[in-house]
Amino acid sequence: MRYWKGDAAFEVPCPKCGHAVELFKDESSARCTGCGHRFKNPQIDLACAQWCAFAEQCLGFAPQRETSVNLGEGALASRLIQAVKEQFHGNQDRITHALVVFQHAKELIAREGGDPRVVFAAALLLEIEKSSPEGQPVGQPHQTAQAEKVLRQIGFPDDVLRRTCDVIRSCLGEATLDELECRIVGDAHRLTDMVAEGAGGNPEKLAKIIRDELKTDSAKTRARNLFGV
């Protein structure tokens, strides 16, 4: 902890109610003070504890060793989240929405599989692309210009960039893409909207959404857990 900087503590929205919850970067989970829901830390970073031989003596437990792929995913997610924050210039509602979607997507991909680069990027950047940019011709296919700009700045390979933008366009209803990554991103957004809509207050409507609108088994299970059904 002596080497920690100002970003060691941060706030994330509760995936169930959206209430801000403060975490330290080495905490594996937290309980929301608003609704009591416990959830995993979406930005956990154990830093040197991932490789240090004395990690167990330092922390009191031996953290799971991350592969270089997983460490890359964490760095990728951080850059994408920062891009979303910069894009919305302090619009906390939209930032919170994007972060909650990201948390759902992270949980779903851990259970369903898929390409995390595509899922993380599409889940976060879809919020940017929801509204057609100024000057976008009505009725014309969405060009995903903002998402492409962010992905190029981060250094996405062309093929991954193209797949990510295809998922975004499909989630916007402008294409039909039957791929796992598309189903995960769509489900992550629907789960977020379900909470915002108060779907739990109408059991029949909730059951219909779970049955007809969610595409992955993991999302159906997550919805039942979120709403206690």
CATH number at residue 190: 1.10.3210.50
86 burial (CB, 10 Å; 0-12 / 13-18 / 19+) is exposed
What digits encode the pLDDT tens for the residues 162-187?
999 999 999 888 767 788 999 999 99
Does 19 fall in a domain? no
Q: Which two tokens stand for residue 16?
A: 């169930």
Q: Which two tokens stand for residue 37?
A: 């829901």
Does 218 fall in a domain? yes
Closest alpha carbon to 102 in 76, 79, 75, 120: 120
Does 55 fall in a domain? no
Q: What is the pTM of this model?
A: 0.66
For the ranges 62-66, 78-82, 112-116, 136-140, the one whose mean pLDDT is highest: 112-116
Q: In 196-225, which positions are buried (b, 16+ CB within 10 angstroms) versus exposed (e)?
A: eeebbeeeeebeebbeeebbbebbbebbee
Does 152 fall in a domain? yes
Q: Which two tokens stand for residue 24?
A: 């330290």
Give the residue carrying structure tokens 């595509």.
118
Is residue 131 a contact partner of residue 174, using CB atoms and an 8 Å limit? no
Per the structure, how many domains does the chain have? 1
Tell me how many degrees the CA angle 99-101-163 measures, rounded to the nearest 5: 110
Q: Rounded distance, CA 208 to CA 151, Å? A: 36
Does 22 fall in a domain? no
pLDDT, residue 56, reads: 57
Paired with 58 in beta bridges are none
Statement: residue 191 has pLDDT above 90 = yes
Does 18 fall in a domain? no
Question: Distance between the two ends of the chain, CA-based, in angstroms?
Answer: 41
Does 154 fall in a domain? yes
Does 77 fall in a domain? no
Q: By residue range, what is the domain housing residue 117?
A: 92-131+143-229
